[in-house]
Structure 1
Amino acid sequence: MRDKNLIYNLEGKPPFLVALPLGMQHVLAMFAGNLAPILIIIGVINSTSSVISTQDSISLIQSAMLASGIVTLLQLYPIKYKNIQIGANLPIVMGTTFAFVPTAINVANTYGFSAILASSLMGSIITIFIGFTYKYIKKILSELVIGVVLIAIGINLLDVGVNYCAGGLAAKKLGTYGDLINLGLSFSTFAIIITIQRFTKGIFKVSAILIGLVIGYALAYVVGRVDTSIISDASWFSLPAPIILINDFHFELAPIVSAAIVYIIISLETIGNVNGITVAAFNRSAKEKEVSGAILADGVGCMVASLLNALPNTAFGQNAGIIAMTKIINKYCIALGAIVVIISAFIPKLGAIFRTIPDSVLGGAVIMIFAMILINGIKIVAHAGFSNKNVMILGVTFGLGYGFGVHPEITSNLPSYISWVFKDSVVGVCVTSMIASLIFAKDK
Structure 2
Amino acid sequence: MNTLDSTLESVRPLRLILLAIQHVLVMYAGAIATPLIIGAALNLPKEQIAYLINADLMAGGLVTLVQTVGWRGFGIRLPIMMGVTFTAIGPMIAIGSNPEMGLQGVYGATIAAGLFGLIVAPFVGKLLRFFPPIVTGIEILLVGLSLMGVAATWAGGGYGSADFGGLLNLAIAGSVLLFVLLLVRKDRGMLSSLSILLALIFGVLLSLALGKVSFDGLADAPWIGVITPLHFGMPTISFWGVAAMCVVMLVTFIESTGMFLAVGEIVGKPVSQRDLVRGFRADSIGNVIGGFFNTFPYTSFAQNVGLVAMTGVRSRWVCAVGGIILILLGMLPKLAVVVASVPPSVLGGAGIVMFGMVAASGVRTLTKVDLSRHQNLYIIAISVGVGMLPVVSEKFFSKMPGAIAPILSSSILLAAITAVILNLFFNGVGSTQEAEKAALETARTETI
| The two structures share one fold, judged by TM-score above 0.5 | yes
Amino acid at match of 2:380: L
Deviation at 1:68, TM superposition (A): 4.2
1:213/1:365 contact within 8 Å kept: yes
% identity of equivalent residues: 19
Deviation at 1:223, TM superposition (A): 1.5
Amino acid at match of 1:194: L
Amino acid at match of 2:375: K
Q: Which of 350, 358, 361 does residue 373 from structure 1 map onto? A: 358
Deviation at 1:348, TM superposition (A): 0.8
Change (3 A) 1:201 1:112: farther
Change (3 A) 1:404 1:21: closer
Q: Deviations over 1:366-385 (max 9, x none)?
A: 23222223322333333334
Change (3 A) 1:286 1:169: closer
Change (3 A) 1:225 1:203: same
Q: TM-score, normalised by structure 2?
A: 0.71
Q: Does 1:177 align with 2:164?
A: yes
- The secondary structure found in structure 2 opposite 1:233 is coil
Distance, in Å, in 2 between the alignment partners of 1:118 and 1:259 is 14
Alignment of 1:289-328 (within 5 A): 292-305=277-290, 307-308=292-293, 309=295, 312-314=298-300, 317=305
Which consecutive unaligned segments of at least 5 residues does structure 1 have?
1-6, 280-284
Distance, in Å, in 1 between the alignment partners of 2:380 and 2:309 is 30
Change (3 A) 1:61 1:278: farther
Aligned twin of 2:127: 137
Q: Deviations over 1:6-39 (max 9, x none)?
A: x9699xxx9xxx9743542442342223313224
1:164/1:362 contact within 8 Å kept: yes
Q: Which has the larger displacement, 130-139 or 157-166? A: 130-139
Aligned twin of 1:96: 82
Aligned twin of 1:151: 141
Deviation at 1:134, TM superposition (A): 7.1
Aligned twin of 2:379: 393
Change (3 A) 1:35 1:310: farther
- The secondary structure found in structure 1 opposite 2:219 is helix
Deviation at 1:236, TM superposition (A): 1.2
Deviation at 1:238, TM superposition (A): 0.6
2:251/2:407 contact within 8 Å kept: no
Distance, in Å, in 2 between the alignment partners of 1:259 and 1:37 is 19
Deviation at 1:233, TM superposition (A): 2.1
Aligned twin of 1:352: 337
Aligned twin of 1:228: 215
Deviation at 1:263, TM superposition (A): 2.5
Q: Which has the larger displacement, 377-386 or 224-233? A: 377-386
Distance, in Å, in 2 between the alignment partners of 1:120 and 1:45 is 14
Distance, in Å, in 1 between the alignment partners of 2:390 and 2:266 is 35
Amino acid at match of 2:378: M
C-alpha RMSD over aligned residues: 4.6
Q: Deviations over 1:226-267 (max 9, x none)?
A: 222322222211124754653499938667535522432313
Change (3 A) 1:291 1:369: same
Q: Does 1:168 align with 2:147?
A: no
Q: Does 1:86 align with 2:74?
A: yes
Deviation at 1:353, TM superposition (A): 1.0
Change (3 A) 1:223 1:272: closer
Distance, in Å, in 1 between the alignment partners of 2:367 and 2:113 is 29
Aligned twin of 1:246: 235
Q: Which of 59, 73, 79 does residue 67 from structure 1 map onto? A: 59
- The secondary structure found in structure 2 opposite 1:232 is coil
Distance, in Å, in 1 between the alignment partners of 2:113 and 2:331 is 28
Distance, in Å, in 2 between the alignment partners of 1:288 and 1:419 is 28
Change (3 A) 1:277 1:440: closer
Distance, in Å, in 2 between the alignment partners of 1:133 and 1:352 is 42
Aligned residues: 412
Change (3 A) 1:79 1:96: closer
Aligned twin of 2:437: none
Which consecutive unaligned segments of at least 5 residues does structure 2 have?
98-102, 432-448
Aligned twin of 1:3: none
Distance, in Å, in 1 between the alignment partners of 2:197 and 2:46 is 22
Distance, in Å, in 1 between the alignment partners of 2:190 and 2:96 is 38
Aligned twin of 1:364: 349
Amino acid at match of 1:304: I
Deviation at 1:334, TM superposition (A): 7.9
1:97/1:312 contact within 8 Å kept: yes
1:87/1:297 contact within 8 Å kept: yes
Q: Which has the larger displacement, 154-163 or 53-62? A: 53-62
Aligned twin of 1:4: none
Amino acid at match of 1:438: L
Q: Which has the larger displacement, 203-212 or 294-303? A: 294-303
Q: Which has the larger displacement, 397-406 or 218-227? A: 397-406
Distance, in Å, in 2 between the alignment partners of 1:410 and 1:24 is 43
Distance, in Å, in 1 between the alignment partners of 2:28 and 2:375 is 40
